Structure 1
Amino acid sequence: MSFDTLKLSPTEHLVGRCLRYPPTFANPGGLPKPKRFPVDQMQSFRDQEAAVFQDLLFVLIGLEGFYIRYADSFSIDDSPLQRLIGPDFSINKHLDSGLKDIAKRISRLGKYYVSLVSFVEQYDDLEYGTVVQALCFEIREVLRMYESILVQIEHEFHHNANYSVTLLEQDLTVNTTLQLTHLYELVMKIVQENEKRKDSSNMNKMRFESMLKSLKDDHYTGTLDGVTSDPTNSKVVKGGLVLSFIQSGIDKHKGDAASYQFMVDLFNKVSVGYVSMFNWWLETGTIEDPYDEFLIHQNLEGSRVSEDYWADKFTIRSEGLLKQFYPPNVQKKVILTGKYLNVLKECGVDVDSLGSIQHIKTLQDNDLFIRLDVAYTRANKLIIDLLFNGYHIREFLESLNKYFLLTNNSNFDDFMSDSLSELRKSKEHASINTLSKLYLSSYHKDDVIEDHASAKSRRLIFNLATLSLTKYTLLDELVMILSAKTTNSEKVFASSDLNSLKNLLNSTLEANENNVKTSVLTNTKIDQYAVFSFCLDLEVPFPLNLIITKSQMVEYQFIFRNLCYLKFVEKCLEISWREITHQRFWKWQFRDERLHRWIKKARVVHAKMRTFVNLCLFYLNYDVMHANWKKVEAVLESLKTDPSVELETVFSSIKSFLSTILSESMLTKIRLAQIVNQLFAIIVLYHNFVMALRKTLILMDEDLFTENQSKLSPGTTFDLEKNETRMRRLIAGLKNYEEKYYSKMSDMMDALKYYGEIDSPSLLRLYEELALSFKMEIY
């Protein structure tokens, strides 16, 4: 076959290679270099213009002419990066200065053309995602228009004798210069960023900076009402990052109507797939993002019934975040809309059958946030209906209050009566099996099968609740938590790299570990009582655990342990009150008047202690828990009448309810918590002191001794001299407890007034009640 009959393959890349990689003047590939007629020997300006015009037709498609050649720094075969940047052109120095200036301006379009063609060749691959593919399509469309204009210009050059270089520049400026310039600027941003990401050290630095930024920007608060950022950097530029580059161009050219409109149109065209993913997310909670370029990143690891899974399942991709999604409230609505729909699907709801929403057309539309609000409101209403009508979360909360906050809970009083002796044992000797049996028998009525929602919720908690004896007492745990050191945020954000950040965090962890070893306060016999370690736990099932999280259950546990201890103290005083008021040993008509006065004083001290404990219980039950639960109830009631109430509001009200109870229960101030604990310890020790006096009282009176001598150990005798010693010990013992009690009461009053005035005003109510009851002793 002869050469003139040889047909080239229609393969686009092969043809493109033949046309776009020709021999150059610098590297002719073994071919003789073409000779050109010297410019300085041309007799007229028109001759120069004709020569330059012909060269410009080559330059405009990225090739060399006779008088306009590639700059020495450019080699067409050197590297893909050089073609992506595009060639600079050198213009014959003897050319007329006016023609030379025009040629310089026009030759820039040749540089842009080579760059854009090379960009499409290299980036038209799904490795770079669908947004880049859409950008490549728009670049092709501009290049087609550009090439068709060049065909028209060439026709004018050959057939219109009046067509000049000046007219050429005007035609290009009117039709293509603006588009090519902006596309080239955009392409250069993408290319430079990708080149930067090829360097592993640069990527590590970028990841570290992204991580610090996400730490600053995160506004995570809970499983269903928080937003976390995904600081991951992709290896190549794609998705939202490309759109953010275009968006920067829009902002940059707001003063130039033509440029602004071109960039807006480009953004809308390139973001069509992105907007489609966004609409699909808002409508069904589904992410169709095979190339990891969407606003939201989905993590599929973990158990679907775990709250941790839902807390971190969907995160905002911080890289390439568009300005529309900068506001935290917008991010929260975007995340929660899809997350709510995903929860519905996980609970068996057919989300696709719930109807469609009005789709967002472009991210530049003025009604973007209105349509987002509509989608969010729809998802919020659906999830509220599921949780409150399907899973009866209100009844579940009320049952939690019964079990953990001991509201209207006579069952726990029965348990405390039955288990008091076991709770007084050291935690090493107490039997958790015995305590569990006593607890279950006290609550056996809650296991009765009934149809209404509250009974089902009580039965659910009854079946899921577990009892344990913890390693640390409540006060120990509170002290460890409240005194734990946190890492200074300024030092964190000032870290230069990941290693320095790790060292900083490790130093904080080591300090807290040492603090745990030194802050444990358990060192007396009473501190070893099992009641101090007695704990009720509950693993909340899905989807209720998305509202009542692990952290909230820990708060419930702290409140329960505090109330349990207070109930224990109350029960002890109840027993010792029956002892000193009804037992005949205490009612005996002793001959020694000093003993009569001592018993009377012991009863007064005991009565003061009972009054104090009752005031504390009343304060916690009514001024704290009941009053704050009313606020939660108001939010729950509003769900029936106000469809705009957000699940986030419900979550926040529950969270605020528990944190307020902890604060107002005197558990969040170390000094106050220690004083209250010491005061209760004095009361329990006084109870033990009183309950251990039967034998002593028998020995203090001869008639009483004679009556009960058979109950005493053999050899025990009545001795008046020893009774004097016993009397002094009784007086000294009572005085010791009385002084310690009133001293700690005074400390508690001071602490209540101090913290009430600076932090928790509700503490002043308890202060006033105690001041009214103990004014003679305290003031």
Structure 2
Amino acid sequence: MDPYTPAKRTGARKKTIGLSQKEYTKITGTIASVRRHRHPGGDHEEEIDPRNLQGHSKSHNDSSFIAETSFVHAPLNSRVFSSSNAPKSKGKAKQESLERIPLEIQEALILEDLLFVLTGIEGTYITYHPEYSPEDDDPLQGIRFVVSPSLDSSLSDLVERILPLGMYYTAIFAFIEHRSHLDYGLVNHALCAAIREMLRDYQTLLSQLEHAFNTAPSFSLQKLWFYVHPTVHTLSLIYQLILELATADDPGADLSSSSSSSEEDAEEAAKNEALGLGKASLKAVLSEIKQGDITGSGGSSIPVKGGEVLTIIYERMQNMSGDPTASVIYGTLLKKAGRPYVQMLKDWVASGRLVDPHEELLVKESKFIDRGTLEMDYTDEYWERRYTLRDGSTSSASKRHQAGIPSPRSSGGRLPGGACVPPLLESWKHKILLAGKYLNVIRECGIEMPRDQAHADDDEFSMDDERFYKFVEDAYSHANRTLLQLLLKDQQLIPRLRSLKRYFFLSESSFFTHLLDLSATELRKSSKSASIVKLQSLLDLALNMGAMGEDTLFREDVKVTMAESGLYDFLMKVVTVTGAVKGEDAIGEKDAKKDKEEKKPMQAIDALMFDYHVKFPLSLVISRKTILRYQLLFRFLLHLKHIEQGLCSMWTEQMTAPWRCAVPAHPEFVGWRLRVCLLRARMLAFVQQILAFVTFEVLEPNWHALEAKLEKVVTVDQLLRDHLDFLDTCLKESMLTSSNLIRACSKSLIACQTFAFYSSSFTKAANQAIAAEDPASDPSKMKRWDILIRFEGNFNRWFDSHLGHVQFNASSDNVSLLPLVVRLNSIKSAYNEKGR
């Protein structure tokens, strides 16, 4: 096509225009000059406007790529036209005057300028705003254009309506250039590709308009407005979106701002120089380190990417749902920008593989946590923290606080980046997380998902497509069903739990009675001197004696171990949270007293406990977290049985001669002996009632409830919750989660245990009293009465305190203690009557 000349356009009207040859030549030269700048590769490429000489020389010095760094960080952007190649004016070009030019020629000149302005290029009569500066202005705000004031007002009003298209186009193009960098992730790349595709339609429209301008004499400014009017609204919608995406970044988070450095204060520069920080390279290194620290500590430096981009698009689409054009535009952008996000989700829920190089997805992985931590993990880190949601939310049953959650944006309160869950996925996020977690457990067991199952549906989904959510539901159901079958059937979870109950709850304690009899000598030693190897061999022997059926299952997994601290001290450390500030003297006295108490050796019987070892994946259910709870219940039951055994041995000893013989001449001794037996009976009843309550009214009913739940369990997460809830309920109803109950109960039980230890001393005192020649002047009378009264006072005090705390808890938040209240009240009333 021949280059356009005004002669072609105005030839039919030349007789009526009335221009002189000089004016006609001037107009021709002006339009041709604009066209030379628009087409630098044409026949007039060597003719350069002096105003753009600097920009022209710069473009000749550029290499074949726009810039090497741009090619590395934004390879897609380096293959398309960039406005950075074009010579740029600084808004100071002098506008040509349109005075004394006829209206039709003004329209022709303005039409020529508009076709350039609509692609972001400055014209002759439409120039950059006088305040525009490429170095200072934000390119994402777009370039503002102003029209010559000498333009006829009838044309100026129409031009002003069209001019925003140039600003929209330049802003959108700058956004595409900026967000095409690798740091912004796949969602931003897909969004930029979708917007670029829309701009291609816009550029096609401009080429058609230019063709019409060059070939149709009847083409006018009014027709141009008619054709571009719908596009103004379309580009304005995209422009508003990119503005919100650009301004959503908090100050300092925009990566483009890192290239521009502000001037330092004189004082700060002097300090940096004194510290040896004057070199630019060192400053750059420190700046990167500082920026990395800020990014790791909060969300203020996380760019808008991933789920946050999709959330912004969706919210704009919802807010402008009354506008059909906005619904179509934003719906298209949401679908196309969400494709990589949906694809990552599909890979996660279908195969358990998390491929998220730019941290855009709602699921994150802590790679430093692996299955090796299960051997020493008392907080279920592998299951709770290996894979988590970036927003820190957990299932309703779990209230554990998640660490590492980025802080919300200062404007809007939206979580940044991948931590922002798209609203369409909000109700599905837990299923998405669990589906991938289940599959990862299966993969850790060496079971790979079939390839056709992992890629069962290769259709392109979008987040507003019902098929996508059906795909997620099917993937979750398949992963859950597979892992549940692996645990319940292949790994025999329920028989494992039954063996745990049998070994730790002493419900079938024949083997444990044999163990206590066989290891009585060893258990009387201190915990540090007792031989664990010998105790383990005695446990194996006790388990093999008369073992039949299920008793023979998994007995090799039970191991003997010794606790490092007392049961009640450990429980008090766990349940007591104190924030009182005390003086140094008080703290020193407390620490000294505590050190003195800790120097006392603990008996092996008080430190004895069992351990239970299972392999992955059973270690997810029978984890160190749950084994610790089993051990606490076991040690409590063992302590009760040990005290009961001691008091029963005392009863056996009190069936001998000094306690049974009639001594008429010693009425004082008879009264003392009766009160000793009565106190022993009260203590034995107290211990037996607590043991019976814990065994038959706490452990057994809760165990049967757990078995009923396990028969109906449908999800792995529910299985884990039910098992943990069972143990927590047992601990709470066994009075091991309240500091007041632990203190009162432990003091009462220790009083009973100490009383049983004094059995031989009481027998010796009874023999001395019988052998005394003068009962009235027996020198040991005051001593034995003093010891007995101290035991009675101590036990009565803690018994009443324990009963009071039990009654209070039973009436407030632990109604399961009501049966124990009845049992303890019966002891108190019965022995009060006997005492009278």
1:580 pairs with 2:654: yes
Between the aligned partners of 1:576 and 1:440, the Cα distance in structure 2 is 30
User: Deviation of residue 191 (structure 1)?
Assistant: 4.2
C-alpha distance in structure 2 between counterparts of 1:670 and 1:284, whole Å:
47
The answer to whether the 8 Å contact 2:252/2:301 transfers is no
Q: Specify the code of the residue in structure 2 equivalent to 1:362.
A: S
Residue 272 of structure 1, aligned match among 331, 339, 352: 339
CA distance in 1, matches of 2:589, 2:435: 42
Is the 8 Å Cα contact of residues 700 and 723 (structure 1) preserved in structure 2?
no
Tell me how far 1:427 sits from its aligned partner: 4.3
- The one of 271, 295, 309 equivalent to 1:242 is 309
**CA 237–739 in structure 1, closer or farther in 2 if over 3 Å, else same:** closer
CA distance in 2, matches of 1:5, 1:352: 65
Q: In the superposition, relative to structure 1, how do residues 733 and 119 fare at CA in structure 2: closer, same or farther (>3 Å)?
A: closer
**For residue 696 of structure 2, what is the aligned residue in structure 1?**
622
Q: Deviations over 1:184-233 (max 9, x none)?
A: 333334444567314678886676554xxxxxxxxxxxxxxxxxxxxxx7
Contact 2:527 2:601 in 1 (8 A): no
Which residue of structure 1 aligns with residue 480 of structure 2?
380
Deviation at 1:631, TM superposition (A): 1.1
Instruction: Name the counterpart of 2:281.
Output: none
Call closer, same or farther: CA 1:457–1:773 in 2, change over 3 Å.
same
Q: Distance in 2 between matches of 1:554 and 1:728?
A: 47
How high is the TM-score relative to the length of structure 1? 0.80
Map 1:90-239 → 2, pairs under 5 A: 90-174=146-230, 176-192=231-247, 196-197=252-253, 198=255, 208-210=297-299, 236-239=303-306
The 1:516–1:467 alpha-carbon spacing in structure 2 relative to 1, beyond 3 Å, is farther
Equivalent residue letter for 1:86: G
Q: Which of 265, 287, 303 is residue 370 of structure 2 equivalent to?
A: 303
Other structure's SS at 2:610 match: strand
Which residue, out of 234, 255, 267, partners 2:322?
A: 255
Higher mean C-alpha deviation, range 432-441 or range 740-749: 432-441
Given candidates 22, 40, 62, the residue that maps to 2:87 is 22
- Note if 1:71 corresponds to 2:129: yes
> Which segment drifts farther, 520-529 or 107-116?
520-529
- Indicate which of 533, 546, 568 corresponds to 1:475: 568
Cα displacement string for residues 222-278 of structure 1 (whole angstroms, at most 9, x for unaligned residues): xxxxxxxxxxx7754432232223223212321211111210111111211221221
Match of 2:503 in 1: 403
- Give the counterpart letter for 2:206 in structure 1: L
CA RMSD, aligned part only?
A: 3.8
Distance of aligned partners of 1:132 and 1:23 in 2 relative to their CA distance in 1, 3 Å threshold: closer
Q: Distance in 1 between matches of 2:665 and 2:636?
A: 42
Structure 2 counterpart of 1:332, which letter?
H
Q: Secondary structure at the match of 2:571?
A: helix
Task: For 2:619, give the aligned amino acid.
Answer: N
Q: Deviations over 1:429-478 (max 9, x none)?
A: 555555445444433459x8x9x887443332x2xx341131x3222222
Which of the numbers 695, 704, 715 marks the counterpart of 1:646?
A: 715
Tell me the equivalent position of 2:422: 323
Structure-2 separation of matches of 1:52 and 1:578: 118
Moved more, 315-324 or 354-363: 354-363
CA distance in 2, matches of 1:87, 1:673: 73
- Larger mean CA deviation between 430-439 and 287-296 belongs to 430-439
Counterparts in 2 of 1:768 and 1:18: CA distance versus 1, 3 Å: closer
Listed one character per residue, the Cα deviations across residues 10-61 of structure 1 (whole Å, up to 9, x for unaligned) are 9786994699513537578xxxx8x83x2232343x3333322221111001
Counterpart for residue 515 of structure 2:
415
> Aligned AA for 2:353?
T
Q: Does 2:435 match 1:337? A: yes
Given residue 136 of structure 1, which amino acid in structure 2 is its aligned partner? C
Aligned to 1:692, what secondary structure does the other structure show?
helix
Please give the per-residue CA displacement for 1:356-377, whole angstroms capped at 9, x wherever unaligned.
Answer: 5567821112465454333222
Give percent identity, aligned residues only: 27
Contact 1:196 1:202 in 2 (8 A): no
CA-CA distance at 1:389 after TM superposition:
0.7
Q: Verify the 8 A CA contact 1:281 1:338 in the aligned structure 2.
A: yes
Aligned to 2:99: 40
Counterpart check, 1:755 vs 2:755: no
Gapped runs of 5+ residues in structure 1? 211-232, 488-506, 640-644, 703-717
Q: Tell me the equivalent position of 1:705.
A: none
Further displaced range: 655-664 or 524-533: 524-533
CA offset digits 1:121-147 (Å, max 9, x no partner): 444344433222222322222122111
- Taking the aligned partners of 1:480 and 1:266, their CA distance within structure 2 comes to 56
Q: Give 1:349's aligned amino acid.
A: I
C-alpha distance after superposition, 1:73-95 (max 9, x if no partner): 3345x37x744443111221232
Alignment partner, residue 442 of structure 1: 542
Change (3 A) 1:131 1:671: closer
Letter aligned with residue 22 of structure 1: P
- Are 1:599 and 2:673 counterparts? yes
Report SS of the residue matched to 2:562.
Answer: strand
SS at match of 1:668: coil
Q: Which amino acid aligns with 1:551?
A: K
Q: How far did 1:397 drift? A: 1.4
CA contact (8 A) 1:238 1:293 kept: yes
1:53 maps to 2:111: yes
Q: Call closer, same or farther: CA 1:333–1:577 in 2, change over 3 Å.
A: same
* 1:590–1:409 CA distance, 2 compared to 1 (3 A): same
1:39–1:206 CA distance, 2 compared to 1 (3 A): same
Q: For 1:375, give the aligned amino acid.
A: A
Match of 2:269 in 1: none
Aligned partners of 1:473 and 1:522 also within 8 Å: no
Give CA deviations for 1:457-506 in whole Å, capped at 9, x if unaligned: 3332x2xx341131x3222222222222489xxxxxxxxxxxxxxxxxxx
Distance in 1 separating the partners of 2:424 and 2:776? 85
Matched, 1:348 2:348: no
Q: 1:429 to 1:768 in 2, by over 3 A?
A: same
Q: Which shifted more, 675-684 or 129-138?
A: 129-138
> Which residue pairs with 1:494 in the alignment?
none
Q: Is the 8 A contact 2:310 2:422 kept in 1?
A: no
Which whole-Å CA distance do the structure 1 matches of 2:808 and 2:422 have between them? 46
Q: Which residue of 1 aligns with 2:711?
A: 637
Q: Judge conservation of contact 1:75–1:82 (CA < 8 Å) in 2.
A: no
Matched residues, number: 695
Distance in 2 separating the partners of 1:6 and 1:369: 57
Q: Whole-Å Cα distance in 1 between the matches of residues 303 and 173 of structure 2? A: 19
> How far has the Cα of 1:314 moved from its partner?
1.6
- For 2:636, the aligned partner's letter is N
Q: SS where residue 297 of structure 1 aligns?
A: strand
CA deviation after TM superposition for structure 1 residue 309, in Å: 3.4
**Closer/same/farther in 2, CA of residues 309 and 682 from structure 1, 3 Å limit:** closer
Correspondence for 2:120: 62
Distance in structure 2 (CA, Å) of the matches to 1:467 and 1:67: 91
Question: Aligned to 2:626, which of 546, 552, 555?
Answer: 552
In the other structure, the counterpart of 2:411 is: none
For residue 132 of structure 2, what is the amino acid of its counterpart?
F
Q: Assess, with a 3 A threshold, how the Cα gap between structure 1 residues 352 and 774 changes in structure 2: closer, same or farther.
A: same
How far does residue 600 in structure 1 lie from its aligned partner after superposition?
3.9
Residue 775 of structure 1 aligns to a residue whose secondary structure is helix
Aligned to 2:36: none
